[in-house]
Structure 1
Amino acid sequence: MHPSFEEQRMGKRRYITGFDGLRAIAVIGVIVYHLLPATLQGGYLGVPIFLLLTGYLITSSLVGEISRTGTVKVVKFYIKRIKRLYPVLITMLVVSTAYITLFQRVLIKDLRSVVVTNLLWVYNWWEIGHGQSYFDRFAGESPFTHMWTLSIEGQFYFVWPLVLLALFAIIRRKSIIKWIVLGLAVVSAILMAIMYDPANINRAYYGSDTRSFAIFLGAWLAMVWPVDRLKQNINRSSSRVLDITGIICLVIVLVMYFQMSGESPFTYYGGMFIFTIFSMILMAVIAHPGGHMNAVMTNPVFKWIGQRSYGIYVYQYPVMIFYESQVKSMGAHPFINALIELAIILLISEVSYRLVEEPLRNYNWNNLTRDVRHIFTKDGGWKAWTGTLVVSVLTILFIVGMVIKPQPPKPNQVQSEIDKSSKQVKEHNAALQKGQPVPNPSGKKQSLTKKYGLTKSQVAKAKQLKVSAIGDSVMADSAADLQEVMPKAYVNAQVGRQGYQSPQVIEGMAKKGQLNHIVVINLGTNGALSSQTISQILSAIGSKRQVYWITAHVPTKNWQNTVNNEIKQTAKKHKNVHVVDWHKYSANHVSWFASDGVHPSDKGNIYFTRLVVKEILKDN
């Protein structure tokens, strides 16, 4: 992945081939998580593995240089990192911006800030204040969200040589310095727990201070487990201990890949730190020449993926965002589309590796003027001319994308309807809280039986139902209709709401007396729902209340079927959970939805409300 993620041939030190395997596991986890988040809910944990490798390899190199020469050639170090990082980074930014300029101008908003902060390696801090949650995958996704980790790496490259030089100059004793480094790792993990806010995890997730524990653990390992001092000739018993330890850690790492949700509080209260420790031990075992884990993690496939992991990581998100914006059947065929996206990512990464990464990694930039002149000679050749033309076109489009003024978003009918509904719901909820008569927005009595296709008996019973509804933008869109039929319903809906935010919302409603015996849940529009999140939601509601869970209709997203299967499985396990199958009920009814194919139209809100009411009345 990043140069940090690339094993350096530090001086005469051996090349640890198993690190390519470790990189492969890391990037596979991240890619699968982004393509099919519900399939590998802990795949995002590949990032701490990359950061571990960063800390270990770079610190090994720097400490070795300090030991040999007493100093670090800082400027040379910076130049080497820039030459390794920038070609792929700039290529991705230019190509992505060119695509946005041509085909997806809605993403031009904030584009200049995104590009500049990425080039300055501070994008993660920009994301904290301006970006969306890493786990929000529904609308307005940036193709650059994943680049926060590269900024943390860049900051580490810039600061760490100076910090190490200062530590060795002031303290001098490596035995003390290594424990200071370990202390920094522990402090970082504590900061993650302190900064964690379930309502907004951006600060804990993107912060350099809260995520650097992985880098510091790698740096600490480099000092206590130096690669050039590990002996190959060890006794069989020690080798067996190494192998068993490595296998156990590998199993734990893979299990946590499948089990540890990025939306779980445990992840931030030490879970990610624990994962990183096991990954660090696994990395240590791979690095030791006396064991066999290096051989286990070495094969042609892992080598190919590992060597291209930087490009794979960098190009993955733009491919996914651009592809998914054009394909409307993601929910119906998630695996087929995931395979197509993966193929595109690997193809682009291979082209980049051959035409950008490898040629420019060791390119002598002093020859740039000479080589440019050569292109325009008779000996330049068609390849040089073609390359020049492609680069020129992309550069022009990039400049256009950077200088054109972002157009204010066009009036969005869905958002307007949600805003209108939310205003009515706010007034309705306030009246319910005060025990006052609820307002009638239409100003006149309407025939609910005719409008919603309900019997007079159903309408009469619905008016007496005390319901609490919790949901995302789909619920917000339909809330006014729900309260028109069930005037005693209290609705708490928010655009962009994630499943992991809901337990806290539900607990707050319970404390305020807003949680009724009947609870309607409508979540899953903005991302996959893990079984752990569902358990937390049900725990917050309590087993004595009746839960009516509405299935998701998100045909443009690959988690639709997974979310709906989770809901149905939950209903089988819990007698108080009932499925309201909006996905099945609304199938093939295009007119029931707005232009995005997700939020109900006015007509769809009527049928949505009708289904919810009838399902509740079947049991009440």
Structure 2
Amino acid sequence: MLDQTQHHRYIPGLDGLRAFAVLAVIAYHLDFNWANGGFIGVDIFFVLSGYLITSIILPAYGNDITLSFRDFWLRRMRRLLPAAMLMIIATVIWTVLFNRELMQTVRGDATSSLLYVSNWWFIFHDLSYFDSFGSPSPLKNLWSLAIEEQFYIVWPILLLFGMYILKKRERLAIAVLLLALGSAVLMSVLYVPGGDPSRVYYGTDTRSFELLSGCALALVWPMKRLSSNRLPNKLKRALHRTELAAFAFLILCIYFVDEYAPFLYHGGMLLISLLAAVFIACVSHPSSFVGYLLSWKPLRWIGTRSYGIYLWHYPVIVLSTPVQEIGNPVYWHAAVKVAVTLILAEASYRFIEMPIREDGFRPFFRAVFLNKLLEWKTSSVLNKVSMGLTIAALLIFAGGLSGLADENKQPQWTHSKFHQETSAAPDQPSAQNEEEKDEKAKTDESQDQAETSDQQKSSGQQTKENQDQQPPNRSGKEVLAIGDSVMLDIASNLRHRMPGITIDGKVGRQVSPALQLTSAYESFNQPDKAVIIELGTNGYFTDGQMDALLNAFSKADIYLVNTRVPRQWESKVNESLKRQANNRKNVTLVDWHSEALQHPEYFTSDGVHLVPKGAEALAGLIVQAMK
């Protein structure tokens, strides 16, 4: 039985390591610029989970594993399900009561999270871990819980089968490492540089190497066999140097790495996982110095509640952060969010997690619900009120999941009528008119097929009338404008100021697809022509991709519009555009970001797209730069 294999010692330093990992994740989600790599806290959690769960299953000595799958899976359910269920219910209720326009998003996320398949749900619904315009899903952090649960179902079976076939732990450890290598290779193959990394970031198949790294460590460095006897000084010094180097490496990764660095997906995450495994091995040893430091009581307190803290921090941050504050954190706001998270995690730990972990589901629900219902007539007023509130909360939760609480309006950004009519004009002024293509009235940034290249141009008579009414193009050049949905927002304003301008905008466009347009607009690569490029709203791009786009118009005057998008990649995009402007004589930077930060009223509720006043401001800034 499982109980026979669970005599492992408590290692307080590992609780401190949990605290380090969860604090790194929180700092990342609070958008602190010194924690761009804080997401590696999840990598540490995965490696630690693989190590601990394998250590629990393995016997202290020998290779004969006696395991009750039912007991194992029931223990995992007791450990993980109650806190997650509470957080999901609370988040759905909050959304129904205070942010109902998010309900359509939250419903699917909640259902998939309860079934432990949310990571695949996000993949198949094109929901990026690193973006989402408007308010992100407050349940998006549960993707990692889904991966862990899927792993817990499969790994005990694989471990028993592998031990039966290979007989020795060392052989099995090699086989596990080969599986981990295969997972990392798959991540490298599926990753597209400059694209959204969510497929490889969320995928169980492409993240398994982190869990498997911890499993391999448990096979060769079992915590049940680590001796408390003093190490010789030479070995102790080697242990201390190794753990300090590994810890320093992880800290540097949190500071320097960002989620769009290609090396992460070409072996970088595997390297981080292996270093995390080395660090866990060192901290687990009784002679560890860093393990002693991580045993500090406040860190252990956070570590023992790290699961609840991880669950609660993301919905607290998402549901309490104004769009204009994303990417520009206010530190006292962040302190309040962290405090609220700790309070909720403590309540969950004390009143939900520990009672169920110690007594089981049935005694808990009997004490909390059934007994109170049976003793309704004789119970106190306080018990009646609490029971009534609980029933009301469950009804609101059910109404939210069923769709009864939905709001009519959708949480989508929509083109206004004049935005729908601002597709690309032909690149030759004498081209014939083409009919406007049909478009949906409501278009979301995540719809990569929502295109607005209608190839539409005013007739000669309309152009003449516009020229009589509108100011002339002072640059005296033919102008091409390439961009995404923000370009569509300003298209009418640009046409008003620069009659004859060719505009090619598309919802959801990134730099990589924009490269395919260069051959069609080759005629604009002339000294007497100008090209406006407004890209970066929808994600980061590599320097090579931007170089290729700018090289295609190397003879023309180029005006690069930087971006104001409340997402993690904003600073990365703007730094890249600034470098390009500094390094190329024919490139001028249009600093929309600085202007936009001073005027939040320029934006719609998603903090990205523009109201008419904002569209006029951006168009004016571009024209001013072209004078």
User: Under a length normalisation based on structure 1, what TM-score does the superposition of the two structures give?
Assistant: 0.84
**Compared CA separation, residues 321 and 235, structure 1 to 2 (3 A):** same
Match for 1:360: what amino acid? Answer: I
Match for 1:581: what amino acid? Answer: D
Moved more, 184-193 or 352-361: 352-361
CA distance in 2, matches of 1:303, 1:79: 26
**Compared CA separation, residues 350 and 469, structure 1 to 2 (3 A):** same
Corresponding residue for residue 449 of structure 2: none
CA distance in 2, matches of 1:478, 1:12: 66
Alpha carbons 1:60, 1:222 under 8 Å: kept: yes
Alpha carbons 1:184, 1:216 under 8 Å: kept: yes
Match for 1:395: what amino acid? Answer: L
Is 1:130 the counterpart of 2:125? The answer is yes
Corresponding residue for residue 516 of structure 2: 508
2:354 to 338, 352, 358: 358
1:539 to 542, 547, 550: 547
CA distance in 1, matches of 2:256, 2:55: 32
Alpha carbons 1:123, 1:148 under 8 Å: kept: yes
| TM-fit CA distance, 1:604 | 3.5
1:473 to 485, 492, 501: 485
1:13 to 5, 8, 18: 8
CA distance in 2, matches of 1:176, 1:616: 67
| TM-fit CA distance, 1:564 | 9.5
CA distance in 1, matches of 2:457, 2:279: 64
**Compared CA separation, residues 437 and 130, structure 1 to 2 (3 A):** same
Is 1:261 the counterpart of 2:258? The answer is yes
Corresponding residue SS for 1:548: strand
CA distance in 2, matches of 1:171, 1:331: 51
Can you list the C-alpha shifts for 1:1-44, whole angstroms capped at 9, x where unaligned? xxxxxxx9973322111112221221112111111164422111
Can you list the C-alpha shifts for 1:80-122, whole angstroms capped at 9, x where unaligned? 0101111111101111111111122222225443233212211
2:317 to 320, 343, 358: 320
Corresponding residue for residue 394 of structure 2: 395
Is 1:461 the counterpart of 2:459? The answer is no
Match for 2:89: what amino acid? Answer: V
Can you list the C-alpha shifts for 1:226-274, whole angstroms capped at 9, x where unaligned? 1122234221111111111111111111111222221232221111111
Is 1:187 the counterpart of 2:172? The answer is no
Can you list the C-alpha shifts for 1:57-78, whole angstroms capped at 9, x where unaligned? 0011112289476421110001
Corresponding residue SS for 1:160: helix
Corresponding residue SS for 1:410: coil
CA distance in 2, matches of 1:610, 1:353: 55
CA distance in 2, matches of 1:483, 1:218: 59
| TM-fit CA distance, 1:371 | 5.8
Alpha carbons 2:131, 2:567 under 8 Å: kept: no
CA distance in 1, matches of 2:108, 2:285: 44
**Compared CA separation, residues 253 and 390, structure 1 to 2 (3 A):** same
1:248 to 227, 233, 245: 245
| TM-fit CA distance, 1:615 | 0.2
| TM-fit CA distance, 1:330 | 5.3
Match for 1:461: what amino acid? Answer: S
**Compared CA separation, residues 598 and 127, structure 1 to 2 (3 A):** closer
Corresponding residue for residue 167 of structure 1: 162
**Compared CA separation, residues 10 and 196, structure 1 to 2 (3 A):** same
Moved more, 586-595 or 306-315: 586-595
CA distance in 1, matches of 2:514, 2:210: 34
CA distance in 2, matches of 1:279, 1:560: 26
CA distance in 1, matches of 2:457, 2:428: 16
Alpha carbons 2:134, 2:605 under 8 Å: kept: no
CA distance in 1, matches of 2:324, 2:247: 38
Corresponding residue for residue 440 of structure 1: 457
| TM-fit CA distance, 1:494 | 4.1
Larger relative helix fraction: 1
Moved more, 480-489 or 340-349: 480-489
Can you list the C-alpha shifts for 1:475-509, whole angstroms capped at 9, x where unaligned? 23113443554567555544455xxx53x245434
Segments of structure 2 that go 5 or more residues without pairing to the other structure are 434-455
Match for 1:600: what amino acid? Answer: L
The total of aligned residue pairs comes to 589
| TM-fit CA distance, 1:320 | 1.9
Alpha carbons 2:123, 2:198 under 8 Å: kept: yes
Corresponding residue for residue 621 of structure 2: 611
Moved more, 431-440 or 272-281: 431-440
| TM-fit CA distance, 1:351 | 2.1
Can you list the C-alpha shifts for 1:397-445, whole angstroms capped at 9, x where unaligned? 101112235758638895122x85365324x2xx228983685348723
| TM-fit CA distance, 1:153 | 0.4
1:147 to 135, 142, 146: 142
| TM-fit CA distance, 1:520 | 3.6
Corresponding residue SS for 1:415: coil
Moved more, 383-392 or 211-220: 383-392
Match for 1:22: what amino acid? Answer: L
Is 1:86 the counterpart of 2:96? The answer is no
Is 1:548 the counterpart of 2:543? The answer is no
| TM-fit CA distance, 1:539 | 3.4
CA RMSD, Structure 1 to Structure 2 (Å): 3.6
**Compared CA separation, residues 357 and 536, structure 1 to 2 (3 A):** farther
Segments of structure 1 that go 5 or more residues without pairing to the other structure are 1-7
Corresponding residue SS for 1:432: coil
CA distance in 1, matches of 2:82, 2:357: 8
Match for 1:445: what amino acid? Answer: T
Is 1:29 the counterpart of 2:40? The answer is no
Alpha carbons 1:469, 1:489 under 8 Å: kept: no
Corresponding residue for residue 342 of structure 1: 338
**Compared CA separation, residues 292 and 601, structure 1 to 2 (3 A):** closer
Can you list the C-alpha shifts for 1:177-234, whole angstroms capped at 9, x where unaligned? 1111111100100111122234343321111100110000000000011112223422
Can you list the C-alpha shifts for 1:379-404, whole angstroms capped at 9, x where unaligned? 85566545434322221110111223
| TM-fit CA distance, 1:144 | 1.2
Is 1:424 the counterpart of 2:419? The answer is no
Alpha carbons 1:520, 1:548 under 8 Å: kept: yes
Is 1:75 the counterpart of 2:70? The answer is yes
**Compared CA separation, residues 288 and 331, structure 1 to 2 (3 A):** closer
Match for 2:423: what amino acid? Answer: V
